[in-house]
Amino acid sequence: MNRARGFTLVELLVAISVLAIVAVLGWRGLDSIVRARVSLNNDLEQTRGLQLAFAQMQSDGQNIAVAEDIGGRTIITSQPGGLTLVRAVYAENQPSRLQVIAYRVRDGVLTRRESTPTRDLGELDAQWTATVGDSDAAQKVTLKSDVNEMTIRSWDASNRLWQTGINVTNLAVNPNPTNPPSPGAAAGAAMAAKAPPTGLEVSLTLRDRPGTMVKIFLLGAV
């Protein structure tokens, strides 16, 4: 009667070694899949955040106030890492109102602030001054983190070119509302002032991401 032959120690060691190699290869494959998924989710999250930020900017730009309707006041300006504009606010069964919107990049975070909507031009002036000087008390809403830089270019329709920043002369022609100027003087002053841009280009440079994200949109209703 033949006795069943078992595995030798060498065969067991070889089998264990093969299983160990297969396990390591499987773990590495699984680890690479998990890392790729995490990276993809991060990219999707960044893309989603950028889309929301740009969509909000575009909405504000489309509803920008008309300078002539508010006494020729400045309706948009930019500064390094910042954009400030006046937009119209429309609500159902309510008259249109105005509010000051501010976008700022501070400490790598892009935020948005908005003032309380108003129909009082005096209050609007105070809100504009406080917002431009970043001394307003409006609550900040975070739009995007890990932002290194935000640059602004505006479309000069008169000269048909892009210019860095926003160079808009205040269109206000009546410093004394109790003594309005003649129509001819007002028209001449308005023509001498530089009109607001008709388009905006916003570029965001992000940390740990090559290249620059750029969004171009029109200002005002289309």
Q: How many CB atoms lie within 10 A of CB 45?
A: 10
What secondary structure does DSSP assign to 15-70, as a single string?
A: HHHHHHHHHHHHHHHHHHHHHHHHHHHHHHHHHHHHHHHHHHHHHHHHTBPPGGGG
Average pLDDT (95-108) is 95
Q: Is the pLDDT of residue 171 over 80?
A: no
pLDDT tier at 1, thresholds 50, 70, 90 = low
Q: Are 200 and 219 in contact (CB under 8 A)?
A: yes
**Alpha-carbon distances, residue 147 vs 51, 98, 103, 121, 208 (angstroms):** 14, 29, 13, 34, 10
**Alpha-carbon distances, residue 100 vs 103, 151, 217 (angstroms):** 10, 20, 19
> Radius of gyration (Cα) for the chain, nearest Å?
29
Higher per-residue pLDDT: 21 or 54:
54
Largest CA distance in the chain: 126
Strands 109-114 and 147-156: unpaired
Q: Is the pLDDT of residue 182 over 50?
A: no
pLDDT in tens, 104-127: 999 999 999 999 999 999 999 999
Report pLDDT for 192: 41
Global pTM value: 0.73
Higher per-residue pLDDT: 183 or 59:
59
Higher per-residue pLDDT: 64 or 176:
64
pLDDT in tens, 76-91: 999 999 999 999 999 8
141 Cβ contact list (under 8 Å, min separation 6):
111, 112, 113
pLDDT tier at 187, thresholds 50, 70, 90 = very low
When the pLDDT of each residue in the chain is averaged and rounded to a whole number, the result is 83
Report pLDDT for 173: 36
Q: Shortest CA distance to 202 belongs to which of 91, 76, 95, 86?
A: 76
Q: Is the pLDDT of residue 221 over 80?
A: no
Q: Is the pLDDT of residue 63 over 70?
A: yes
Report pLDDT for 5: 64
Q: Is the pLDDT of residue 189 over 60?
A: no
